């Protein structure tokens, strides 16, 4: 990896969204073909979120991508069902995320402190299978410290609030991200980031200290409508230097 090159995980959930609009009655667009195209264009991994309500990614997608040895980052809620699936299909990474049925998209980070009694034993069981664990959190020093205590390999900072904010509020959100990233690195955690990033904000987020990975989906899928997925992923990759 080149110095300062940030790994790109391409989230393909919204490719599945297009397919599921027809109630799962079509085989297109093919998630496997698009996952392979994203990897050829420079993505380091494919990210999917198998939600409880199955609004986009389906269990069959997880099975099919796993069979083809696609490097997967499986976003998952803290449920027994998802733990069982993770242990069975063994993605390279799991990222534990908050999940509400009524939300349009993930609205914020996990509260690791409140979840710690359930979370820690699950993390240990996952790690025994050589699966790496990331926790999706807001850029809070308290949450970073607790993520380290839980034994996670990485924290992924929710960048949505920073992306949406302006002026002084944006500066405050950046400072929160900056301080949280520095602490995570000091504790030995990998620093990941994601949510709401586009070509412009992806380039900006690379100034975050110790950043090693971003996971981006919605904007890439939107750009792909104009320029094709391969070109969209290539351009996003160029932003991450």
Q: What residues are annotated to the active site?
A: 49, 75, 195
Say how far apart CA 162 and CA 130 lie, in whole Å. Answer: 33
């Amino acid at each position: 990896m080149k110095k300062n090159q940030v790994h790109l995980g391409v989230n393909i959930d919204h490719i599945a969204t297009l397919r599921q609009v027809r109630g799962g009655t079509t085989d297109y667009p093919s998630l496997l073909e698009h996952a392979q195209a994203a990897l050829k264009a420079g993505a380091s991994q494919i990210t999917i979120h198998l939600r409880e309500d199955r609004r986009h990614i389906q269990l069959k997608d997880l099975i099919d991508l796993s069979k083809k040895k696609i490097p997967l980052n499986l976003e998952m809620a803290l449920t027994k069902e998802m733990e069982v699936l993770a242990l069975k299909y063994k993605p390279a990474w799991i990222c534990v995320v908050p999940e509400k049925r009524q939300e349009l998209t993930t609205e914020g980070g996990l509260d690791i402190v409140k979840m710690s009694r359930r979370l820690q034993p699950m993390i240990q069981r996952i790690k025994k299978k050589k699966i790496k664990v990331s926790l999706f959190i807001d850029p809070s020093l308290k949450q970073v410290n607790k993520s380290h205590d839980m034994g996670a390999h990485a924290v992924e900072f929710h960048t949505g609030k920073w992306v949406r904010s302006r002026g002084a509020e944006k500066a405050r959100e950046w400072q929160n991200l900056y301080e949280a990233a520095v602490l995570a690195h000091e504790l030995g955690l990998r620093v990941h980031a994601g949510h709401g990033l586009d070509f412009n904000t992806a380039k900006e987020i690379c100034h975050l200290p110790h950043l090693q990975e971003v996971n981006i989906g919605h904007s890439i899928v939107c750009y792909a409508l104009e320029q094709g997925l391969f070109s969209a992923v290539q351009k996003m990759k160029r932003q991450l230097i």
